[in-house]
Chains A and B, each alone.
Chain A
Amino acid sequence: MKDNKASMKAYWKRNLRYLLILLVVWFTVSYGCGILLVDQLNHIKIGGFPLGFWFAQQGSIYVFVILIFVYVRLMNKLDKEFDVDEK
């Protein structure tokens, strides 16, 4: 349906919405929990980890990995829905 301008616009809009949501999570976990709120979160301890320190040195990395795989799934579905996927 790539000739259909309205459909392409809708596809791009959905894409941008996914990006926005995923990037908000990306920012919150790394810059939010790992840097801006680190002192507050360090009062909470999980096992031997102060929570803010954990987010900064490990937790954010796990979330990054999950974010990319969520994105891949969402986009593969979206491509099919709008019939722009590669055969």
Chain B
Amino acid sequence: MDQQIWIYLLVGVTFAIYIGIALWTKAGSTKEFYVAGGGVSPLANGMATAADWMSAASFISMAGLISFAGYDGAVFLMGWTGGYVLLALLLAPYLRKFGKFTVPDFIGDRYYSNTARTVAVICALFISFTYVAGQMRGVGVVFSRYLEVDINTGVYIGMAIVFFYAVLGGMKGITYTQVAQYVILIFAFMVPAIFISIQLTGNPIPMLGFGSKMTGSETYLLDKLNGLHAELGFAEYTSGSKSMVDIFFITAALMVGTSGLPHVIVRFFTVPRVRDARISAGYALVFIAILYTSAPAVAAFARTNLIQTVSNKEYSLMPEWFSNWEQTKLLIFEDKNDDGVIQYVADEKKNELTIDKDIMVLANPEIAQLPNWVVGLMAAGGLAAALSTAAGLLLVISTSVSHDLVKKQIAPDISDKAELWIARGAAIVAVVVAGYFGINPPGFVAAVVALAFGLAAASFFPAIILGIFYQRMNKYGAIAGMVSGLTITLFYMITFKFNAFGETTADDLWFGISPEGFGTVGMLINFIVSFAVSAMTPPPPQHVMDIVDNIRFPRGAGEASGMH
């Protein structure tokens, strides 16, 4: 069957599944809308968390980034998985015991202050909008290549689908859609990974094929790749080129940011018991690890395949995928020395090939000449990854507005039914804003997402941790900490990432820390400010001390509720 027919068929079938689930799980109360009724099984929650959190960046961009970064790609691999250890050990069980709907809810109650609640809402909105922008751009990339429609049309289709199940079903709709999306995305990621692993190394398990010998040769794949890199003048694949300090800070920012992301944390409010929250963080990491331990393998395979296919080969002999991707302008060849041969080298002046990192995963099946249905599967998987995360974020946005701003502050007497309609209305507005970002993308997918992690690390994480582990922590400290952490991190990113105050170079960075890693510094500043300010101000009232005592042991968790 034709490749295009496969794509339409597989994408169409998966969309039908999402809409079907949305109709079946329509939310009838705010409790269902916010926390899916609170009765999600830990295994289903683990799967939904994995899909929620593995975004277009994980699916489309990550292996590509690692493919070009080599060892330096470790920041994404360790950063985006190590945070689950922090989440499982330090956050999830206590927040589940606390038993409210949202992260600002915890911050507002723990710090007995609507100011703290509002600061938390602003942080949540900030992180979610930064992040959702990346997702919508991801939807656009996938659509424009695979459905052969305009990027804008692609974003509209994506908006319509998300609108349907996020607005209608709320958390309940999202949870079960995400379970389906996880299955689709992991299948779509693993099938080509397994095929290519067999082709290159004869080992069907990509995680092991990665460290195996090349088929029909006595050379290990990684040694071969290091050799190719040396020949072309790139840094050694297994050593990378970033400084140790930078790697350290970026990894830390991504780890801490992961555990502080509001759309991930709220998933742990949906399980029935504290012990379910603990184990479902474990399940989530298992499901994530399947993709995350394959991604570095896919990256090394793709890199080897790419160099062997294009380096020093005649342009006229390039396979069909090459011209397919040239049309999208994500792959550009300019013959600088007019010899008709592709020079792909590290030296910018001599290099003739420009490759967008995003295409490495999407083009992989074509580069490896896999059957047409695999290409269709990639399209469905990429869309599943982007849509599931976008929906999770939209829910955080709508919940922050309807629950934490309207219900908790502006109009506390509002009925459950009216609150539900406000939540839906906020979700609609959020979909439109997210769509706007998809059409006018603010930057490269993974880069923007990495910034969201930095912001989460610098704002939420210390406030939540101290709220649980440091009873003496008061509202003044927490508010000052969140504001200062967020401000300094934003300032650094705007200065060095977006060059808002004039052009900057790598030499201008403070201690050589990239903007992506600065969230770690923001977090440390948040901790220091929090301690200092709370030491100089009165301790929290007794009923707050009792809340802290109470969340430290599991018994009596009850169901998550919005009541006092």
Contact = CB atoms under 8 A, between A and B. Distances in A.
Interface of A: 2, 8, 11-12, 15, 19, 22-23, 26, 30-31, 34-36, 38-39, 42, 46-50, 53-54, 56-58, 60-62, 64-65, 67-69, 71-72, 75-76, 79, 82, 84-86
Nearest to B244: A35
B286 interface: yes
B222 A48 contact: yes
Given A11-B553, A26-B85, A53-B238, 5 more contacts: A61-B292, A64-B285, A71-B278, A72-B278, A86-B273
B77 A57 contact: yes
Contacts of B549: 8
Contacts of A62: 289, 293
26 contacts: A2-B553, A2-B556, A22-B85, A30-B82, A36-B248, A39-B239, A42-B238, A48-B212, A48-B223, A49-B211, A53-B71, A57-B77, A58-B207, A58-B210, A64-B285, A67-B89, A68-B85, A68-B282, A72-B88, A75-B275, A76-B275, A76-B278, A79-B553, A79-B554, A84-B554, A85-B275
B71 A58 contact: no
B38 interface: no
B73 interface: yes
Interface residues of B, number: 51
Nearest to A12: B552
Contact of A71 (B89, B255, B296, B553): B89
Contacts of A49: 210-211, 222
B77 A61 contact: yes
Interface of B: 66, 71, 73-74, 77-78, 81-82, 84-85, 88-90, 93, 207, 210-213, 220-223, 238-239, 244, 247-248, 251-252, 255, 273-275, 278-279, 281-282, 285-286, 289, 292-293, 296, 549, 552-557
Contacts, number: 143
Most buried by A among B239, B549, B553, B556: B553
A51 to B, nearest CB: 10
Contacts of A19: 89-90
Nearest to B300: A57
Contacts of B73: 57
Given A65-B282, A86-B274, A26 B238 contact: no
A5 to B, nearest CB: 9
A26 B82 CA distance: 8
A61 B248 contact: no
A56 B207 CA distance: 13
Contacts of B278: 68, 71-72, 75-76
A61 B289 contact: yes
B94 to A, nearest CB: 10
Contact of A65 (B66, B207, B286, B556): B286
A35 to B, nearest CB: 5
A11 B248 CA distance: 34
Contacts of A30: 78, 82, 251, 255
A58 B554 CA distance: 33
Contacts of B82: 26, 30, 60, 64
